[in-house]
A and B are shown apart, each in its own frame.
Chain A
């Protein structure tokens, strides 16, 4: 089949260019060449051995999961015609006559050339063991290979892959997906010997074995035995074992396809590869070689696509007459990041630490299956590394390694789990490559934002091509785009929402300074529109932080978020939960009984929470005041489980009982919980106090956590559980009780003043300029001179605190909102229904025939729980 060029309006070409091989690199060469102004002089013919235009070999395996050959295609429709390129499919070059400057094709044609570009790629290496060519044996390189594997797998039960490298593991993944019992046989003592070290290899092996693949390392393939039907039946290993198998895939490496060059007398390397210079020229000035078939100027054959693309660009620019041969290829980065059988693996730079004086920094957690090794040079710069199980940091570490600059962060921060290291993009030089697939530097990306008006990651991708290859650089790309947008001032919108261009911290200042007390005044004076579910709760929270009375007072009531609005937590079916405060987790038997009685009488589901207290679920809006009446009368207060405010101060039992305790942790926890209860903040606040360094209260995972020492208290801040766990940092050590409380007061008030909406202290501490040091200076040394202000705000809070629920019960106006229906008070929502489970209620699921609450139940009698 032949794609004939359609005559265009381009100037008549004067010289003939023949490209041999239409693979990934060949196609890239065509694209770069036709992009150059000087390309018009070439009449281009492409000889392809395969029956289809160039496709994405890197993602070949996705063919098994349904990606079609068309979807894998790399040749845009119309591309060939537009540039007058003639593509001859399934017509490979068979001979080269350099003296006559002609190539002969399989179909018998002879083509003359002024320039010949060889991009013939590699062929899979098949060890010449007996039986290697029996039916049932396969290689893994083309779509046709995959078709053959799939056809054979239909009648097979077991498959063996020869080779435990990148390709072998990918093939193994394909075989398991085809439901075969899969073996991997690797000659080297570990998997992926080229990319990972022993430690990484061990972890990789374990993870892959967990998926049911049997791994044989340090084992060679001796021979293949065939059955009576002539098909492969078993594999004999070098250690004498025999492996029964119906199908074999050889993935034991590739060899450059240099035969044409060899036969025509061009120089080839000792282990193959067409010798080229840094412009990708062979010894014959009319012949170039690029991609996997070439032995580059640095003496290496590259088996990865990114170096191939760089060679393609070099050759294309040379042929288009780029002056001075500016673009050269002298070698490339062989960093890789892959997902093999669901396991993330990455290696970059000098992963094996071959440089003199190189040191390793190692982080390994076999429980969570993470292994990270960084190689640090004697000058303190990052040389390379290996990541297995968690490759999130690859995008930032690789350019750091390639930049060769000394590290500005301690290397251990770079390997600690996410959240433990510093945020934001690392300091890179402008010429540091961020996207190695397309060789895009940080400078190019910044310029796209700064000078070309790109304002988002998709726009930058479109205009620079960065991030459109393997995708591994996208996280870094995103960080750079944000940083650059901020620098240009055009600004990432830091505004809250369409109604305010201010950040939460700015609104806090406006409200504090102007003394505004209503949303209407704020939005009319400083914003626009009617507000929304983002800005209204923020303003509600700021007004509350600055002490503006009850949160359901007047207009404030209309601003409160879902849970605050009813001083309870909304559940999935429209019912609510009730959480009385149990300071420090200490509770008397009498109080326990009260909670039990209330729960029993209202038929509520009870559960011990993760916050050392008791949650009562399943109350109708109408029941909330009745339930709280009982609780308040028994001395309970709101636990603010609904508020962005202090949740719990957990405690361990401490000195009073525990034989290791050195201070009264329960006493301090209660004191702190009572001091900060009801304090509204940008996000929820959690705390804990442990009686000794054994840390049974998990204080280091809290926004502020305290651990007893023999002489005082250590204060930790910025801890977080939840979605992005972070260990807290030590803010101050060995404080006495008074200094401790004062420091926490200031820390909290400073956070409330400067944090963004829904920003936990952990994220705030990472983001705020100067980080922990700055916060320490502000709260301990009063570096901003605001401590007296912060102290006064906290004093006001402590003095003004009143239990929110008691205040509601005292006020008929506020009570009025606790009805399901304004025109039928006391009638609970009939759509809220429950079934029973393990002796308690739970919301009925769709299709379940649940029981609704009846009006009578609202008055407080006991709800029978049917367990049948």
Chain B
């Protein structure tokens, strides 16, 4: 490795924090990171290099396992399948594509965070999603 390590950074609402090295991310698979406030965030990189940061908690099982899911696509939507009961989520806005509500009655929609590489090229999701989260 060269002296320059590229980092993946996540915006937690107030600041960008370094989450892991870019090389840590295998295309199509994720890792979990702990945010500054203790929040569990699942980070992914797809085959094209696009980054996604999404809540690690699976609303259907309550377990913090979404970083261990499988990336894919449905039509043009980039997706994540939960490793537990296999519900599929839209990586861009965290919406569950299979079910509207979680067993506890809350909307099945995950928080998403903006993520970028150390060279500061901001990736989706857009600002709208940040406000919601």
Contact = CB atoms under 8 A, between A and B. Distances in A.
A529 B64 contact: no
A530 B68 contact: no
A456 interface: no
A816 B26 CA distance: 12
Contacts of B20: 822-823
A530 B69 contact: no
B70 A536 contact: yes
B108 interface: no
Interface in B1-33: 18-20, 24, 26-29, 31-33
Interface in A822-857: 822-824, 827, 829-832, 846
B83 A822 contact: no
A36 interface: no
Nearest to A557: B26
Contacts of B86: 533
Interface string A516-541: 00001000000001111100110000
Interface string B55-80: 00100011111001111111100110
Contact of B29 (A558, A823, A829, A830): A558
A537 B81 CA distance: 12
Interface string A478-502: 0000000000000000000011000
Contact of B47 (A499, A520, A557, A561): A520
Contact of A530 (B34, B43, B46, B65): B46
Interface stretch (A459-467, A569-577, A645-653, A702-710): A569-577
A643 to B, nearest CB: 15
Contact of B34 (A559, A823, A832): A823
Nearest to A532: B72
A561 B57 CA distance: 18
A329 to B, nearest CB: 49
A555 B72 contact: no
Contacts of B68: 562, 565-566, 570
Contact of B32 (A533, A536, A822): A822
B81 A532 contact: yes
A79 interface: no
A821 interface: yes
B2 to A, nearest CB: 18
A520 B47 CA distance: 9
Given A530-B78, A565-B83, A822 B71 contact: no
A612 interface: no
Contacts of A573: 62-63
Contacts of A565: 29, 68, 83
A330 interface: no
B88 interface: yes
Contact of B62 (A561, A816, A846): A846
B70 A532 contact: yes
B63 A574 contact: yes
Contacts of B79: 530, 532
Given A559-B28, A821-B33, A827-B34, A574 B71 contact: no
A533 B81 contact: yes
A531 B47 CA distance: 11
A822 B24 contact: yes
A530 B32 CA distance: 22
Contacts of B83: 561-562, 565, 570
A533 B70 contact: yes
A559 B81 CA distance: 12
A403 interface: no
B40 A831 contact: yes
A559 B72 CA distance: 10
A846 B31 CA distance: 25
Contact of B72 (A530, A816, A824, A827): A530
Contact of B71 (A530, A572, A820, A821): A530
Given A529-B73, A531-B72, A558 B63 contact: no
A525 to B, nearest CB: 14
A530 B84 contact: no
B85 to A, nearest CB: 10
A734 B64 CA distance: 53
Given A572-B61, A574-B63, A846-B62, A557 B34 contact: no
A558 B84 contact: no
A822 B63 contact: no
Contacts of A531: 28, 70-73
Nearest to B76: A529
A79 to B, nearest CB: 36
B40 A822 contact: no
Contacts of A572: 61, 63, 84
Interface string A795-838: 00000000000000000000011011111100101111000000
Nearest to B18: A823
Contacts of A498: 74-75
Interface in B68-126: 68-75, 78-79, 81, 83-84, 86, 88
Contacts of A559: 28, 70
Contacts of A830: 38
Nearest to A562: B83
Given A530-B47, A572-B63, A822-B31, A562 B73 contact: no
A841 to B, nearest CB: 16
Q: Which of B18, B43, B61, B68 has the most CB of A within 10 A?
A: B68
Contacts of A821: 31-34, 40
B65 A570 contact: yes
A823 B39 CA distance: 12
A568 to B, nearest CB: 11
Nearest to B72: A532
A822 B18 CA distance: 11
A536 B27 CA distance: 13
Nearest to B86: A533
B22 to A, nearest CB: 11
Nearest to B84: A570
Contacts of A537: 70
B27 A558 contact: yes
Given A822-B24, A831-B40, A533 B69 contact: yes
Given A531-B72, A821-B34, A823-B34, A555 B81 contact: no
Contacts of A529: 72-73, 75
Interface string A562-598: 1001100010111000000000000000000000000
A574 B78 contact: no
A829 B64 contact: yes
Contacts of B81: 532-533
Contacts of B73: 499, 529-532
A831 B57 CA distance: 9
Q: Which 4 A-B pairs have the closest CB atoms?
A: A532-B72, A533-B81, A558-B28, A530-B73
Given A533-B70, A559-B70, A561-B83, 20 more contacts: A520-B47, A529-B72, A530-B46, A530-B47, A532-B79, A532-B88, A533-B69, A533-B88, A536-B28, A555-B27, A558-B26, A561-B70, A562-B83, A572-B63, A574-B64, A821-B34, A821-B40, A823-B20, A830-B38, A832-B63
15 contacts: A530-B72, A530-B78, A531-B28, A532-B70, A533-B72, A533-B86, A561-B70, A572-B63, A820-B32, A821-B33, A821-B40, A822-B20, A822-B33, A829-B32, A831-B64
Interface of A: 498-499, 520, 529-533, 536-537, 555, 557-559, 561-562, 565-566, 570, 572-574, 816-817, 819-824, 827, 829-832, 846
